[in-house]
Structure 1
């Protein structure tokens, strides 16, 4: 009996020991299970990560992606690119997206996209396409202007043009309005025997002739001529720059190419012929013939009294003046079509700051009152009529100051074009003094 009890007790202990072993095994399994799953997941992620990286960079064969209806591989590699102007091709290179770091490659949802050719017609926005078409037209404009040299030589020779004025007009004929016409009026009011050359594609037309007819009828000497860029830029640094633009080696940039071409044209015209250049929104108040080799400051440093920025809206220089040579050289070497003013006011400021004081450059920097008596931010004040007695006195004093100190007034067209001329304003008084036709509507100036 004792033996049976002892045997049963031993069996129970063995059974309990087995249960404890099973329990420990279960807990050990449960404890290890999450780590195994995590390891498995990490292994799968690492495998997927390595697969995606090699899939992007190694030339594994892949299924072709569906193409849009207007996409053609043949056109992309062949004829469609030949039809685009070279400047467009250069812009495509400039717009290439930045390189994606390898550490970011696993985040791509569809690695095969990187292997798909770019459809250039989709990349360009309609606005950019329109701008490059305008560039193409501008570059081709010289094809129809080969008579430029003959016409301008005959014009100067037949009229004995001792005083030569130049304007450039790169906009449409419709935008040549009362303000531009009054600028011409003021020019001939102060210089009745001067000759004016308007370099413009739109103005050199039958319709442009009708716009200028009132001046022809008055006997004033002026002509509108399409520019021959090749002839005007020949034998200057501008020649190489322009050839690069035509070949697509120079990017026209985001700023209007017409504006930058105007910046260059005025320099080249004065360098080739000598004379006075003025923007079409500059009102001439008195004779400029006493000035020689002069450029005007736009702003001055109030602490030092020295100029802080020049402007190129009015330029007066002799033929082949060395400063003009430096201006053109700077344009060609540092052209940037993405920064407003870089090739215009900032350009002349950069060059003059470098050559100022050197004896071989003989020129004068005039104070802001000469051509820019009011800065662009305050131009509206010249168009306003008197509000009260105090304002009326200020207007009278300002007008007398302008008449005394200024040769011309730059109207800063972009800021003031839509501002109406109010009765009794400074501009209203200037119009009464400077008109020769005197039939323009002051409200639309």
Structure 2
């Protein structure tokens, strides 16, 4: 009986060991399954930098137009599909010269950190790439809201005064006389070969050398052009002194105080402006002058047709072959389709339906609290909707045409090379801009504090497109000082 008991004990022990082994294996499998499940169902939280990078934002919920340089560049009709969630984008057209837009590699050692960006902000806000506190940066850039509200009230008072007085009543007559002015040397009527428009809502004392250089570049590339600056402050004796160096050389430039009633008439801006000056529209915390300029440029183009340029744009090539054109500011890095347009440079015929839609969008969706909402974002919204509808013939040019360097890299344009490799890159970039770009936007909001270094891209371009090349702009500005 004893041997049987021993055998039974051995069998029991072996059985218990097997059970323990199976239990261990089971626990091991349960642990592995739990770990795998956690990795599958875990939430991936991206870093703040990647979440707000311009590249991510540009791909988010946008209707894009193809800017691939591989396809032939033609002018295509654009149409309106406001309810369709997916819009088939047309191929981007290119009017005029068949310029080949090629890129210069941006060296790895020169790449900048992704700049954080709020989708409701215009990129023309100076944001420190080393910080992610967008709200504090915006407050730092814009100052206190109260300051801008007070400034907006002053401008509203001025606009209401112009509206109630008769100062602007002769605006259409003066504009007509300017455009049809006789040539003083031949005594013959000399119609403008091309019409340029600018706006200047600020004071005379803030008229800076960059605005002066921008005017120089217009007449360097278009000596037979007419430039009309819609401005209340420049339409004065002191304002004419600022422009006198150009008129003394025979260039046709003038400043005329705008008549908003006339310019907005028979558009949706007419009732909007009336409600604004009566205090029925909140101007918001964004400087009202900026939004008035956004509207004024559209009304000038719709009423007269021509070219609008900001005062921080350097013109580099003739615009005579461009027709009904607007430029892309940025392109999606994956799809190669535009992610944002800009309204700093626009070329449109008189009473063009797209410009009418821009004005309509301004009046219907005005928001004085969102940076860029009534400017770059506005033209982007409208163009994204107007696809496939007959009658809206226009061209979207790639960034290289007007915005060859984006706002977050504009510092590159103002500095000289740090070393031989850097200098070669800057020279290649200069040649690319010189050969391919119609204009160069200097992004004053970001670059106004930058000095122009010797050998920099901006220095070379300004020397290429100056009119008063043997004397500094500062000397001219001092000679025509607005101070009493």
Q: Using a 3 Å threshold, how does the CA distance of structure 1 residues 416 and 180 change in structure 2: closer, same or farther?
A: same
Match of 1:285 in 2: 316
Structure 2 distance, partners of 1:318, 1:352, is 16
Q: Indicate if the aligned counterparts of 1:385 and 1:425 stay in contact, CA closer than 8 A.
A: yes
Structure 2 distance, partners of 1:372, 1:442, is 26
Structure 2 distance, partners of 1:127, 1:315, is 28
Match of 1:440 in 2: 472
Number of matched residues? 322
Match of 1:342 in 2: 373
Match of 1:157 in 2: 180
Unaligned runs of at least 5 residues, structure 2: 1-144, 182-189, 478-484
Match of 1:166 in 2: 197
Counting only pairs closer than 5 Å after superposition, residues 80-229 of structure 1 correspond to structure 2 as 128-142=149-163, 143=165, 144-158=167-181, 159-229=190-260
Give CA-to-partner distance per residue, 1:96-135, whole Å, 9 cap, x none.
xxxxxxxxxxxxxxxxxxxxxxxxxxxx957634531232
Counting only pairs closer than 5 Å after superposition, residues 19-418 of structure 1 correspond to structure 2 as 128-142=149-163, 143=165, 144-158=167-181, 159-418=190-449
Q: Indicate if the aligned counterparts of 2:213 and 2:473 stay in contact, CA closer than 8 A.
A: no
Q: Indicate if the aligned counterparts of 2:148 and 2:286 stay in contact, CA closer than 8 A.
A: no
Task: Show structure 1 runs of 4+ deviating over 6 A.
Answer: 442-445
CA deviation after TM superposition for structure 1 residue 139, in Å: 2.8
Pick which of 369-378 and 130-139 moved more: 130-139
TM-score normalised according to structure 2 size: 0.65
Q: Indicate if the aligned counterparts of 2:330 and 2:340 stay in contact, CA closer than 8 A.
A: yes
Give CA-to-partner distance per residue, 1:276-318, whole Å, 9 cap, x none.
0000000000101111000000001111111000000000000
Structure 2 distance, partners of 1:420, 1:202, is 27
Match of 2:136 in 1: none
* Larger helix fraction of residues: 1
Unaligned runs of at least 5 residues, structure 1: 1-123
Structure 1 distance, partners of 2:391, 2:266, is 21
**Cα RMSD over matched residues?**
1.8
Q: Indicate if the aligned counterparts of 2:312 and 2:444 stay in contact, CA closer than 8 A.
A: yes
- The structure whose RCO (Cα within 8 Å, separation 6+) is larger is 2
Structure 2 distance, partners of 1:335, 1:276, is 24
Give CA-to-partner distance per residue, 1:313-364, whole Å, 9 cap, x none.
0000000000001000000000111101000000000000000332310000
TM-score normalised according to structure 1 size: 0.70
CA deviation after TM superposition for structure 1 residue 250, in Å: 1.2
